Structure 1
Amino acid sequence: MLAGHPIAAEAPFDTPELGEPYLLTPGPLTTSYAVKQAMLRDWGSWDGDFRAMTAEMRRRLLALTGDKNDEFDCIPMQGSGTFAVEAMLGSFLPRDSKTLVLVNGAYGQRIAQTLNYLGRAHTVIDKGDYMPPRGTEVAAALDADPAITHVIIVHCETSSGILNPVHEISETVYGKGRKLLIDSMSAFGAISLDVNEIRYEAMVSSANKCIEGVPGFGFIIARKSELEAAKGRSHSLSLDVHAQWAHLIKTGQWRYTPPTHVVAAFLVALRQHEVEGGVAGRGARYANNRDVMVAGMRELGFETLLKDHWLSPIIVTFFNPAHPDFSFDRFYELMKDKGFIIYPGKLTVVDSFRVGCIGRMDEHVMRRVVKAAGESLREMGVDTAAPPAAAIAERAKLAA
């Protein structure tokens, strides 16, 4: 119970609640009724009840990392996920550091852009949209440049839907005596980041992703030794992770006004996450969502951007059909009319769109997604969703 609000009995996944469309996006995403219900009460940010909620939230998030030796702590940070990523970079990268940024999509590029703003030295391995960075090339880059102190990788690059091999990268980074930061914005909570299996100094995620809360804050989970070393390092008053951490330790409160309703909703989402079986249970549902949806879309002729080995259970990118009567804008509106909001593509070389697998949805919903896609194609007069030959050729060339 959350201060008088029980976790309500939930409707089946395939029963739309409140008449809302399903959000087939990488977050914001479709949330449960109980998560929405938790936002109906106002909270005082200084009050003992809310401080207890913050403390429980931090404990529950830390538990998802498998930290048994009290080496890590969790620091929530107001704002969108990008705010939290910038806070992590500005707080944990010394001003005289040099960072190797592993890029294979828009969010790796955004990290490099952020480092430009921060004035932090960095270099990039850019793999394009199709392929993950591998340990061998990271090792070569670290050997070639002894000035590199840190490496950062996006766990799941949602611009393409690729799941990056963080375990392999971590082993390489620490084998070369460097430190790893992870942007796990769209993966944490559904894909393991157990600190006993994958070494890293800090990771960052957000309320409105795989835990299935609503937007309003991100959170950084970091080694206490790194938090202590970050004192006085941040470029920003409001994004100073050490200062936020110190204030939480001293008072139990956030430094500045927290998104109280979002925290209340997130705590309900965390409890539902535990009931579902934690990271393993949540990840299994998402993986099944992906498998059912991808199989159905392929039967319609759609082609995934990525080969099966690299498909994440978070979001899948499809090539736009080559058919001359296909228009993404029209397809989007037809899908929305049927109760499903999909995501436009974010690639630079080919036209594409994305379908998310996360949120309060199961395989029955995904079968309805496929049915809606087929109906939408027929209404457009598109008899096959096969992609342009040039798109397949480009994928083959870039993935070679």
Structure 2
Amino acid sequence: MLLLIPGPVQTRPETRAAMAQDIAPWDNDFRAVYAEIRTQVLDLAGGREGEHATLPLQGCGHFLMEAAIRSFIPAGGKLLIPRNGAYAERAVRLATEARRQVVSLHGPDTRAVAPEEVAAALAADPAISHVVMVQNETGSGIVNDPAAVGAAVRAAGRRLILDSVSAFGALPISLAAQPELDALLFTSGKCLEGLPGIGFAVARIDSLTAAAGQAGSWSFDLADVYQHALRAGWGSFRFTPPVQALAAFRVALDLHAAEGGQPARLARYAENMRVLYQGVQALGLTPYLEWRHQGPVIVTVHQPADPNFELQRFVDALKARGVLISNFYNTKVPTMRIGCVGAITPEDMRGAVAAIGKALDALGVRQRQAG
């Protein structure tokens, strides 16, 4: 089965094989493995030893986002969220339920947020301490530019928290170049092609020190994660980790490096995306985004107007042909989400395009333009 979703992604056999073992997370041999993972992640993020720290958290990307909001923004504090996609909307809910004040910067989910829009919103409200932004919106496929937006945040003297969950490992980022960035958030099961179950925040140590005691949650307190590492060592977790997922992630990191790191991973995903984008157009389908706004992680496609089309029936017909995509969408109009990431190649994607065409034919879908 070819898995074409934005995460968890298709993985390499070597990565999956690493999970087929029983491991004691507190064993000294594995502590060394985990400590090395933290160092590898710090390097990938462009962080500096002594200035940034790699902090683990069990669970999904939403857990990391809530932890970062709670840890770096005090209760009652105010943050700005550019709302141009489904995952930004989720950040709004996480912040609101953590009793932080959200200032919304509304925008369409068909283009990136503009730095000047962020600058104007910050100038209008000096009480905003942080901007919380999603780098890659997997609802539509757009990419927000953390360097450009970060420059606006830095010029305003504010701080940035970046959700890089579906971007890290493929899209470029450098913590050293962005001193306004308090925390970069990502998980194991996306562009680094590991298995799901573990997330990381790569965060500024000075911000962590200042954040001590304000999270209002033991589980979601990144400052406490950092203090635990100082006390118990960088190979230690506070609570029992998904240790097999970590073992697989170590293999995935080695495979990422062997491929050529972030530039090579991005190049492969970008070619996957090009093949898919042009392929669905050739089938008569309509991509949700204009080419100039299309990111490399996921191609979102308008559902055909043909009455014979129904998303779950299409997903089932495509699955019967060896390709699995999401059976839901996150846009306001009906769309289909087709991932370009994971251990897949442009040749795999050409096969997927052919399978999409056969599935549409089997359903009798002739009118393929959007309604």
Q: Which TM bucket (shorter chain)?
A: over 0.9
Aligned equivalent of 2:192: 211
Q: Is the 8 A contact 1:300 1:384 kept in 2?
A: no
Shift in Å, 1:352? 0.5
1:209-258 CA-to-partner distances (Å, cap 9, x unmatched) read 11111111110000111111121111211111111122123223100101
User: Are 1:362 and 2:357 matched, yes or no?
Assistant: no
Identity rate, percent:
39
Shift in Å, 1:196? 3.8
Aligned equivalent of 1:385: 368
> Comparing 338-347 with 290-299, which one deviates more in the overlay?
338-347
User: Are 1:89 and 2:69 matched, yes or no?
Assistant: yes
Aligned equivalent of 1:178: 158
User: Are 1:327 and 2:310 matched, yes or no?
Assistant: yes
1:264-299 CA-to-partner distances (Å, cap 9, x unmatched) read 000000000000111111111100100011111110
Give the length in aligned residue pairs.
368
Shift in Å, 1:156? 0.2
Partner of residue 233 from structure 1, selected from 192, 198, 214: 214
Structure 1's 346 and 381: CA in aligned 2 closer, same or farther, altered over 3 A?
closer
Shift in Å, 1:348? 4.6
Aligned AA (2:281): R
Counterparts of 2:328 and 2:281 in 1: how far apart (Å)? 18
Shift in Å, 1:197? 3.7
Counterparts of 2:221 and 2:248 in 1: how far apart (Å)? 25
- TM-score after normalising by structure 1: 0.89
Aligned equivalent of 1:262: 245
Counterparts of 1:309 and 1:197 in 2: how far apart (Å)? 26
Aligned AA (2:39): R
Structure 1: give runs of 5+ residues left out of the alignment: 1-20, 389-400
1:348-382 CA-to-partner distances (Å, cap 9, x unmatched) read 53110110000110000000000000111111112
SS where residue 201 of structure 1 aligns? strand
SS where residue 374 of structure 1 aligns? helix
Counterparts of 1:255 and 1:201 in 2: how far apart (Å)? 22
Shift in Å, 1:67? 2.5
Structure 1's 255 and 68: CA in aligned 2 closer, same or farther, altered over 3 A?
closer
Counterparts of 1:260 and 1:170 in 2: how far apart (Å)? 34
Equivalences for 1:31-180 in 2 at 5 Å? Answer: 31-68=11-48, 70-180=50-160
Aligned AA (1:147): A
Counterparts of 2:294 and 2:327 in 1: how far apart (Å)? 18
Aligned AA (1:247): H
Q: Which consecutive segments of 4 or more residues in structure 1 shift more than 3 A?
A: 196-199
Q: Is the 8 A contact 2:308 2:363 kept in 1?
A: yes
Structure 2: give runs of 5+ residues left out of the alignment: none
Counterparts of 2:25 and 2:331 in 1: how far apart (Å)? 43
Counterparts of 1:286 and 1:348 in 2: how far apart (Å)? 22
SS where residue 344 of structure 1 aligns? coil
Shift in Å, 1:36? 0.7
Partner of residue 7 from structure 2, selected from 19, 23, 27: 27
Partner of residue 231 from structure 2, selected from 226, 231, 250: 250
Aligned AA (2:358): E
Shift in Å, 1:114? 0.7
Counterparts of 1:315 and 1:66 in 2: how far apart (Å)? 25
User: Are 1:279 and 2:229 matched, yes or no?
Assistant: no
Aligned equivalent of 2:205: 224
1:297-317 CA-to-partner distances (Å, cap 9, x unmatched) read 110011111111221111111
- TM-score after normalising by structure 2: 0.96
SS where residue 55 of structure 2 aligns? strand
- Superposed CA RMSD: 1.3
Counterparts of 1:66 and 1:125 in 2: how far apart (Å)? 28
SS where residue 9 of structure 2 aligns? coil
Counterparts of 2:366 and 2:94 in 1: how far apart (Å)? 44
